[in-house]
């Protein structure tokens, strides 16, 4: 998983938050700590779809799927990175 994905997610949270935050980490609870409001969930989903390149099945979402940046990466971005790695390695092995 690229560090740039984490940087983009942190920037999104900082841009959207109305709370003062001194220390945003990848384990900071985004909604529980009031950094994001429930009305911003759709913005977050659309942003994650944009950076991951994959559509999110909103009907299949489980509570806590967007708990923190680490959880978002695990749930929505790692699969894309694994697919990319597999595709790249299959291209190099067939060359």
The pLDDT tens digits along the chain (95 residues) read 578 899 999 999 999 998 777 788 999 999 999 999 999 999 999 999 999 999 999 999 998 999 999 999 999 988 654 444 333 334 444 44
> 36: phi > 0 → left, psi -120 to 50 → alpha, else beta; which?
beta
pTM of the full predicted structure?
Answer: 0.78
Local structure of 24: helix, strand or coil = coil
Residue with tokens 């109305």: 18
Local structure of 77: helix, strand or coil = helix
Rounded to whole angstroms, the Cα distance separating 84 from 88 reads: 6
Rounded to whole angstroms, the Cα distance separating 37 from 53 reads: 24
């Amino acid at each position: 998983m690229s560090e740039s994905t984490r940087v983009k997610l942190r920037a999104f949270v900082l841009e959207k938050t109305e709370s003062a935050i001194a220390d945003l980490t990848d384990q900071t609870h985004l909604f529980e700590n009031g950094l994001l409001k429930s009305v911003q969930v759709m913005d977050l989903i659309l942003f994650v779809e944009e950076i991951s390149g994959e559509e999110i099945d909103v009907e299949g979402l489980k509570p806590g799927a967007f708990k923190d940046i680490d959880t978002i990466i695990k749930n929505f971005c790692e699969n894309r990175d694994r697919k990319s790695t597999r595709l790249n390695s299959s291209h190099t092995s067939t060359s």
